[in-house]
């Protein structure tokens, strides 16, 4: 049986969610289809994890809908038929749990921040101090990358004045790769996945800020059992190996 892993960007979320919770026929019979709303910074690694999950669970097809964690949280509040939620940070997940909209919340990874520059590092950025007075783009404050960046600036570089706040790390990387800014602040994993499109400048551990990634089952999921299997898979050895290879760190 050959199944196609579908990765959906934010622009196509509504189209995908309209059919997300139906059962999908396969060559071997009926396969349950689950849709996982996931943080944008998980886009690349979840492609690998999704394939591994489906190999181990041939009766389940997983589809991903990627966006900022805060945007996915609002989709869940609005009744979008998601089955599971994988968030960057706790600021979007914790309120959903308190409202009873998600259950079985479990941490599965963490991620640290890094400075990204255009190829060749034309502004000669060497650290946080060089971002003062530079053209810097960051994530919006309501998304996890923005929450972490705000903490980083407050604690370690309060004189940094970003010129643009982007909806997610993908948008920040896009501006950096296009040489529209001197630097941006994103996750370590984003720079690794971008390859030669950007360069990364490490932030010392004593100054850095980390983000915890969590996954949960959406309470109103029509496929809660299959969603629970995916959440469990994220903490298993195969998914953890994929996360480590992508630059993620273990959950605290």
Beta-strand (E) ranges in the chain?
6-8, 23-26, 29-39, 60-67, 84-88, 102-117, 136-139, 164-166, 183-187, 199-201, 210-218
How much is the mean pLDDT over the chain? Answer: 89
pLDDT for 10 equals 40
Average pLDDT over residues 58-72: 95
Average pLDDT value for residue range 232-246:
97
- To the question of domain 111-210 being in CATH 3.20.20.10, the answer is no
pLDDT at 31: 83
Contacts of 192 (CB under 8 A, 6+ apart): 200, 246, 247
* Per-residue pLDDT, 5: 56
The mean per-residue pLDDT over the stretch 106-125 comes to 97
The pLDDT, as a whole number, for residue 29 is 54
Domains 6-110+212-245 and 111-210 share a fold: yes
pLDDT tens string 12-34: 333 333 333 333 334 445 789 99
Rg (CA), the chain: 18
* Confidence bin at 143 (pLDDT 50/70/90): confident
Architecture of the domain made up of 6-110+212-245:
3-Layer(aba) Sandwich (3.40)
* Residue that wins the pLDDT comparison between 241 and 141: 241
Write down the residue that tokens 């255009």 correspond to: 118
Q: Where are the domains of the chain?
A: 6-110+212-245, 111-210
Q: Mean pLDDT lowest for which of 29-38, 48-57, 225-234, 238-247?
A: 29-38
The DSSP secondary structure of 24-51, one letter per residue, reads EEETTEEEEEEEEEEEGGGHHHHHHHHH
């Amino acid at each position: 049986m050959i199944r196609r892993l579908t990765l959906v960007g934010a622009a196509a979320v509504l189209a995908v969610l309209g059919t997300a919770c139906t059962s999908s026929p396969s060559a071997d019979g009926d396969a349950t289809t689950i849709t996982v709303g996931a943080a944008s910074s998980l886009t690349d690694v979840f492609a690998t994890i999704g394939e591994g999950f489906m190999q181990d669970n041939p009766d389940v097809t997983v589809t991903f809908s990627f966006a900022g964690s805060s945007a996915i949280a609002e989709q869940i509040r609005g009744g979008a038929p998601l089955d599971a939620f994988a968030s960057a940070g706790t600021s979007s997940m914790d309120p959903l749990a308190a409202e009873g909209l998600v259950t079985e919340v479990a941490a599965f990874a963490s991620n640290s921040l890094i400075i990204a520059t255009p190829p060749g590092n034309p502004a000669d950025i060497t650290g946080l101090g060089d971002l003062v007075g530079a053209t810097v783009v960051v994530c919006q404050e309501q998304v996890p990358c923005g929450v972490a960046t705000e903490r980083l600036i407050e604690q370690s570089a309060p004189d940094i004045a970003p010129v643009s706040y982007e909806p997610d790390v993908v948008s920040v990387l896009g501006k950096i790769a296009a040489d529209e800014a001197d630097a941006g602040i994103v996750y370590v994993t984003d720079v690794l996945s971008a390859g030669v499109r950007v360069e990364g400048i490490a932030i010392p551990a004593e100054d850095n800020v980390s983000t915890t990634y969590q996954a949960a089952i959406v309470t109103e999921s029509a496929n809660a059992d299959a969603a629970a299997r995916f959440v469990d898979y994220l903490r298993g050895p195969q998914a953890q190996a994929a996360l480590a290879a992508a630059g993620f760190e273990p959950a605290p």
